[in-house]
Amino acid sequence: MKFRAGLAAIAILAIGASQPAVSQQSDDAAVWSVIEQQWEAAQRGDEKWLQSLVAADFVGWPRSSPAPRDKRSTRMWNEFRNKHRDGKAHELYPLSIVVHGDTAVAHYLYTNAAKNADGKLEISNGRYTDVLVRIDGEWKFLSWHGGDDTVSD
């Protein structure tokens, strides 16, 4: 009987110890899903993602910008870009995701293909670091920094 009680105690401890790892994997997957949703929406030219995936107090700094941009400025430049280019394809290469409570930091590389206003296909490679926060159970972008490895003038 003592043997069974000991096994039961070990099993309970083992299950309890594995919960943080499962939770971490779940959070990592949820964060990565939001990043992929944003890229998919941007490729389609769907500007609604800014409302649903970006926190109200967002401030990000793309490499192509001389200064950080808030949500309003990001919306304006996305609308401008969508009028002058047509997203064709992209691929994301996740490097790392760290989640601490309701804050996540994700590092990744990308390849992006888009047609410019002249119809010329442009392929770019770059990197991003995104900071997301969990608000009411949903991950939203709080900030990001990155962009093309070579920014054209």
Written as one string, the DSSP assignment of 42-67 is HHHT-TTHHHHHB-TT-EEEETTSSS
**Considering the domain boundaries, does residue 11 fall inside one?**
no
Is this model's pTM higher than 0.85 or not? Answer: no
**Rounded Cα–Cα distance for residues 62 and 77 (Å):** 11
Assess if residue 33 is contained within a domain.
yes
Residue 8 within a domain: no
Question: Which pLDDT tens digit goes with each residue over 60-80?
Answer: 999 999 999 999 999 989 888
Residue ranges in the chain whose pLDDT is less than 50: 7-18
For residue 33, the enclosing domain spans 23-148
Rounded distance between C-alpha atoms, residue 64 and residue 86, angstroms: 18
Residue 99: other Cβ atoms inside 10 A: 20
H/E segment holding residue 9: helix 2-44
Is 43 inside any structural domain?
yes
Q: What is the pLDDT of residues 133-149, one digit of tens each?
A: 999 999 999 999 999 99
Residue 123: helix, strand or coil by DSSP? strand
**Has residue 10 been placed in a domain?**
no
Give me the pLDDT at residue 46, please: 87
Residue 59 sits in a domain of what CATH number? 3.10.450.50
User: Is residue 46 one of the residues assigned to a domain?
Assistant: yes
Specify if 15 maps to a domain: no
How much is the pLDDT for 12?
44
Number of domains the chain is built from: 1
In a domain, 123, yes or no: yes
Euclidean distance between CA atoms 12 and 6, whole angstroms: 10
